[in-house]
Chains A and B, each alone.
Chain A
């Protein structure tokens, strides 16, 4: 005879629990973790490199880089002089909490203040997989078009900061900044928003100031 057994369990739970374990470890070692997400070609690595340059004299940094197969991005990050670990996802479209958990022992966390994660270039899958970081950052870009918040709402809903990169290209694209921002505001009210150009450096001052505020607040609480 068949009978029904109630379950009512969240399928994301397994990953979420591991993410929480990562978070506990990072809190213990007083390491502020940032997860950068973006579509391929949005300028994620360029934004990260500028961010590293701005932070590396003030904080002890380390990074991991998720990529399908190459070490190109990790090499670019390592070239800044900070410790960098490559995670080759072997074709998987996102980083998950397990991959980060496996990478963490390769980093000397107690001596790292800020830990930067570059996720796989993808606006869909990374949004479902919490990693245990302190802030999730999305790098959007002008050539992608102003409709992306409407097409990838899950990604836009789950982040604590949004950079719109390549704003130097705004005169050349039919990018309606007002339409873009309306979509963002509906999905993620009050989201910290920074229009930037990784090519010219425009707008990065505000981003660095905001980010340092977040890092310092964390390090102070962690120290206290």
Chain B
């Protein structure tokens, strides 16, 4: 349920940019959501339906681009996806690793009329 304040934030950013661009209507939003950001698409969609009502973004389509979590090993340079059980490098076993993608949560663009 913690998506609610984020959807409020998405709506606010959308309306600001739509107004600046002189939009009559917002028809779609492109959202980028990393696997590590603990954001659930369905929840965002649910709150969006409620919060966007009565605004120029009402009914706008939400398009989700999911970014998988990917680690890079400092020791051998290997990159690998998060499998939920191991974090150490599967190639050399090092735990000196770094998340290189997967914690994104941003509004990339909006489609307006």
Contacts and interface: CB of A to CB of B under 8 A. Distances in A.
Asked if A and B are interacting partners, one says: yes
Interface of A: 1-15, 91-94, 96, 124-125, 127-129, 147, 149-151, 153-154, 157, 182-183, 185-187, 189
A125 B38 contact: yes
Contacts of A128: 2, 6, 37-38
Contact of A10 (B1, B23, B84, B106): B106
Contacts of A129: 2
A181 to B, nearest CB: 9
Contact of A11 (B10, B28, B86, B96): B10
User: Chain B contact residues (Cβ within 8 angstroms of A): what range?
Assistant: 35 or more
Contacts of A12: 6, 9, 105
B111 A4 contact: yes
A96 B6 CA distance: 11
A93 B110 contact: no
A32 to B, nearest CB: 26
Contact of B2 (A92, A151, A187): A92
Interface in B15-56: 17-18, 21, 23, 27-28, 31, 36-38
Contacts of A151: 84
